[in-house]
Amino acid sequence: MDLNRLEPIDDWTWRLPRHGRMRVDGVIYGDSGLVAAMDDKVGEQVANVAALPGIVGASFAMPDAHWGYGFPIGGVAAFDPDEGGIISAGGVGFDISCGVRTMPTGLTRAEVQARQAELAEALFRKVPAGTGQRGPLTFSDRELDAALEGGAAWAVAQGFGRPEDLAFIEEGGRAVGAAPDEVSDRAKKRQRGEMGTLGSGNHYLEVQEVADLFDAEAAGAFGLAVGDVVATIHCGSRGLGHQVGTDYLGEMVAAAAGFGLDLPDRELACAPIASGLGRRYLGAMRAATNCALANREIIGHLVREVFADLFQTARLRLLYDVSHNTCKVEEHLWNGRRRTLFVHRKGATRSLGPGNAALPPSYRAIGQPVLIGGSMGTQSYILAGCADSEGKSFSSACHGAGRSLSRHAALRRWHGSGIIDDLARQGIIIRCPSLRGVAEEAPGAYKDVRAVVDAAEHAGLARKVARLRPFICIKG
């Protein structure tokens, strides 16, 4: 991106001044290197989002931002329904409620090391990964609707999780207002056999070691120590979420003229929050959110079973589960006024600061755990939300490293077998059903997660707590 188009606010914050059809400024977070390396399309998409009705504050892009569908991936925008605000399927994304959960195992690297290969094979067998993979569970229409209504709470009630998990999942593990009846039969058909599966692309199940701590107080509250082993799951709503996005994007495109919406980009198809279509999408989106929450809870249960079979002392409590493709109704103080806003986060995570009542009591003095996944075989991070992030980004932070090369470009540059061999030399076991999938997700196809996390910290979006180093990675 051409930095000459931007005004530096500080070393970590850049303003894209309001121009043309923009209703607000754009704000891009990152150091000069990260921002300069972003595709020009990111700036264009930030400006397009800023032109949507009812937007409040600014159109934001996180340090991991890259070109997406409509919104940039790493885009954040809040809309006021009292000012004609909209809901955009492209602002949520296709993998609705894709997210990350991290579970400390109660084990150390030294305890796990001797059975590393055995653990990798057991996890690969237990948790289906890859395009078109079916899970160990198949639900009837009635059971699936119950999952779409109940989320992780439903999974726990079915014996696929622990009741104590729910306090450590956003919104108690269930998005209120879900409307399974607004989800198409085709979407439900795609999901019926996919519960308990990782999917493909950048989704993963990793076993990681806590390599470094940066904030002793926060690490203590999160129950982390150097040498601890954690299991981290990254996945979402699978085929159902993708179909919900596809279905409603089509409806929103067709309805735009009737709503009087002159969109800067067809991919920003949207509907007024107060409209019938807007309400129907919100109900379907929340049902897909619950699908993802139930899916991660079920996978967490399967992972616990594997560890219990191999390690008698394994515990696997839930540290936190956070989604990063969502639209949530939130109260925010902005310019001295408290407002009810519909906050779109596409490839961005909540970063609630200390004192927020939505946090579990044990984390309330520290701030929300912010789980930042690296690329395959590279480090990940646990951060904590900052008090200042509300005024900077509606309490939002980045969600991962962010792609720097497309999947097609990665395939031209790397071979899956070579990547597996290279990571094996580093002590990292990769298990994936597709060598093509490994090549597409090559570590070099992503930004340096260290730079992204440092930028988020310096910008005041979240602060570093721990660095995680993987030694097993199950990929789709």
**Residue 15: exposure state from Cβ atoms within 10 A (0-12, 13-18, ≥19):** middle
Strand partners, 55: 79
Structure tokens belonging to residue 430: 């990769």
| List 66, 324, 344, 399, catalytic entry | 399
Other C-beta atoms lying within 10 Å of the C-beta of residue 412? 10
Residue with tokens 């597709």: 434
Contact criterion met (CB below 8 Å) for 236 and 95: yes
In 3D space, the residue among 385, 406, 375 whose CA is nearest the CA of residue 66 turns out to be 406
Instruction: Give the containing element (helix H, strand E) for 253.
Output: helix 238-255
Structure tokens belonging to residue 47: 């400006």
Structure tokens belonging to residue 94: 């296709």
Residue with tokens 């999947």: 407
Q: Is 344 a catalytic residue?
A: no
What gap in Å lies between CA 356 and CA 365, rounded to an integer? 9
Instruction: Give the containing element (helix H, strand E) for 189.
Output: helix 185-191
Structure tokens belonging to residue 232: 């981290």
Strand partners, 73: 66
Amino acid identity at 121: E
What gap in Å lies between CA 198 and CA 298, rounded to an integer? 11
> Using alpha carbons only, what angle is made at residue 423 by residues 315 and 108, rounded to the nearest 5 degrees?
25
Amino acid identity at 88: S
Residue numbers annotated as active site: 399
